[in-house]
Amino acid sequence: MITAFIQHRPLSSLCLIPFILTNVVVGGLSFLFHGNYTSDYAITGNICCLISVLSIFPVIIKYRSALECEITKSQQVHSTLAYRSSNKDKFMSVISHDLRGLLHIILGTSEIVSLRVEEMEREKLIRLLGNIHTAADNMNTLLNDLLDWDRAQSGQLPFEPQCVSMGEIITNALDSILPIAAKKQVVLTTKGNHQTEIFADSNMITSIIRHLASNATKFTQPHGSVTIDWEIINESVHFSIIDTGIGMTEELLEHLFSLQTNTQRVGTAGEQGFGLGLLLCYNFAAHHGTILKATSSIGIGSSFTMALPIRPEQIPTDWNISHKTVPPEGLV
pLDDT digits (tens, 9 = 90+) for 301-321: 999 999 999 988 888 765 444
State the average pLDDT for the chain: 76
Residues 161-182: pLDDT tens digits? 999 999 999 999 998 888 889 9
Residues 43-66: pLDDT tens digits? 555 555 555 555 555 666 666 677
Q: Are 117 and 124 in contact (CB under 8 A)?
A: no
Report CA-CA distances (Å) from 132 to 104, 105, 106, 111, 183.
Answer: 10, 7, 5, 11, 19
**Quick one: pLDDT band at residue 2, thresholds 50, 70, 90?**
very low
Residues 85-117: pLDDT tens digits? 656 666 666 667 677 777 888 888 888 888 888
Q: Are 31 and 15 in contact (CB under 8 A)?
A: yes
pLDDT above 70 covers a percentage of the chain that reads: 66
* DSSP annotation string for 12-63: EEEEEEEEEETTEEEEEEEEEEES-TTSHHHHHHHHHHHHHHHHHHHHHHHH
What would the mean pLDDT of 76-84 be, rounded to a whole number?
A: 64
Q: Which of the two residues, 208 and 39, has the higher pLDDT score?
A: 208
What is the C-alpha separation between 50 and 54, in angstroms, rounded? 6
Residue ranges per domain, the chain? 2-77, 163-332
Superfamily, domain 163-332: Histidine kinase-like ATPase, C-terminal domain (3.30.565.10)
